[in-house]
A and B are shown apart, each in its own frame.
Chain A
C-alpha cells in the first residue's frame, strides 16, 4: 500500500534515495548480450545514458536490469552486434 497524503513528505520531496527508485520497470524491450559475440570493447558501457551497464574493464559487461530503461542505444552502438532487444514478457 502506497503512502497516503498525510504521510508523504510535503513539497514533492523524495523520501528515499533515487537508487531505490527502480526505473528498470519502465522498459518494454530488454537488451540481451550474446557473450559469444561480445568482444569486451566497452562501447555499451560508454553509450548507455542511464549507467545501466556494469563493466569493470576486464570481465564482460552486464546489464543492470533494475535501472535499464530499454532505450536500445547499447544495441545500436555495439560494433559486434552482440546485443539484441527482446520484448519483455511480464
Chain B
C-alpha cells in the first residue's frame, strides 16, 4: 500500500483528510481546540492545494447554517467546532439532521462552560446526543484521519442521509503529534467520489433532492402535528440503517488502507474469555488497553470495549459481548446531573435489562474538564471491578479523580 507517514496532530490529520475528500464547501469559525483544523484548511485553500469554497462566518450558528445551505444545494460540506461553539449551533444542528443533509463536522471534544474550561470532556457532544446526528468517537490522530474519510461515505449513503460528527478528544488527540499514515490523494478521491445527490419523489416526479431552479423544492417548511411525527420516525429508521453502513465502510476502508477499527461500531480488545469488561469512548480507551495488557499478564481476565459509534448505539455488539461477562465498568467523560448515572452508563444499564443473566454494571465518571486519567486510576477502577467479581455492589456510580 502506497502510504506516506507524516507527523500530524489530530487537528491536522482531520484537515488533511478534508483536503483529500472532494469537499465543496467549508464553513469556518475558530474555537479552541478545533481552530487548527480550519486554519490548516485555510492554508490549503490559500496555497492552491484544494479547490473549495471557504466561508469564514461570524459564528458557529452561521457555520452550520452555511453548511445546511450548501448541502441543500448539492455540495459536500464540512465544518468543525467544539464545546460552546457546538452549543451555539444547537438549534441548527437539529435542522441539519431533520433536513437529512449529509454534512460532516469534526468536534474536538471540550468541556462546556461554565466555569470556562478549554480542556477535554464529552459534555459538548453528549448535549447533541439525541439530535439524530451520527456520532463517531476516535481514539487517536490516525483514526481521526481515517474516520473523516469514512464519514462522508456513511453520511451520503442513500439508506442513511444524516450528518456525521467525528469526535476527537481536545488536546489529548487534537494537539498531540503522531505518525499518521496517509493515503494518496487519488485513492481517497476515488473512495469518497463526488457527492451524489439522492433522489426524491415529488408531485409524481423523481427529482434530485437539492435546491435547483429546474426542480424547485421547499426545504424546511412548517411541519405540524399532521406530519412532523412521521418525519421524526423516518430519522430513527435512517440512523438505525447507519449501523450496517458504518460496518461496511469500515471493511471497504480496510481494503484500501489496511486499517479497520473493530467492526466499525465497537472496537473490542481481549474480550474473548473476559470476566470483566471496561467500556468507554475516545482516547482514554488507549490507556485502558495498556492497563488491560498488564492485568492480563498477572492473570486477570479483563478486556476493553471502545464504543466507536455512540449514535447509532451498538446494541447487538454490546449485548453479545457483555452477556458473556460478569462485571462491566463503564467510563463516562461527562455527567448527566440528576440522572441515575452518566450517558454511556445509562445506555448500557438499560440495554442489559432484558438479559436473563445480567452482569453487574458499575459507573465511573472521570476526566471532567480535562482532568487526567493516568494508568494508576484505570488500575484502581479495575481493582474495584475485580472486587465486584466476588461481591457485586447494588448500584455504583462514582466520580473518580476528583479531590474529596
Contact = CB atoms under 8 A, between A and B. Distances in A.
Interface residues on B, range: 20 to 34
B395 interface: no
A69 to B, nearest CB: 13
Interface stretch (B55-63, B213-221, B334-342): B213-221
B204 to A, nearest CB: 9
Interface stretch (B107-115, B223-231, B313-321): B223-231
B200 A10 contact: yes
A57 interface: no
Contact of A16 (B100, B203, B230, B234): B203
A18 B218 contact: yes
Nearest to B228: A12
Contacts of A90: none
Contact of B234 (A2, A10, A14, A15): A10
Nearest to A13: B217
Contact of A12 (B202, B203, B231, B238): B231
Contacts, number: 60
A42 to B, nearest CB: 30
A8 B203 contact: no
Contacts of A12: 98-99, 219-221, 223, 227-228, 231
A11 B230 contact: no
B227 A11 contact: no
A86 B161 CA distance: 48
Contacts of B101: 11
B98 A11 contact: yes
A2 B220 CA distance: 20
B200 A13 contact: yes
Interface of A: 2-5, 8-18
Interface of B: 98-101, 161, 200-203, 209, 217-221, 223, 226-231, 233-234, 237-238
19 contacts: A3-B230, A4-B230, A5-B233, A5-B234, A8-B227, A10-B238, A11-B98, A11-B99, A11-B209, A11-B219, A12-B98, A12-B219, A12-B223, A12-B227, A13-B200, A13-B202, A13-B217, A15-B203, A16-B202
Given A5-B233, A12-B221, A14-B202, 20 more contacts: A3-B230, A5-B234, A8-B227, A8-B230, A8-B234, A10-B100, A10-B161, A11-B100, A11-B209, A11-B219, A12-B98, A12-B220, A12-B223, A12-B227, A12-B228, A13-B202, A13-B209, A13-B218, A14-B221, A15-B203
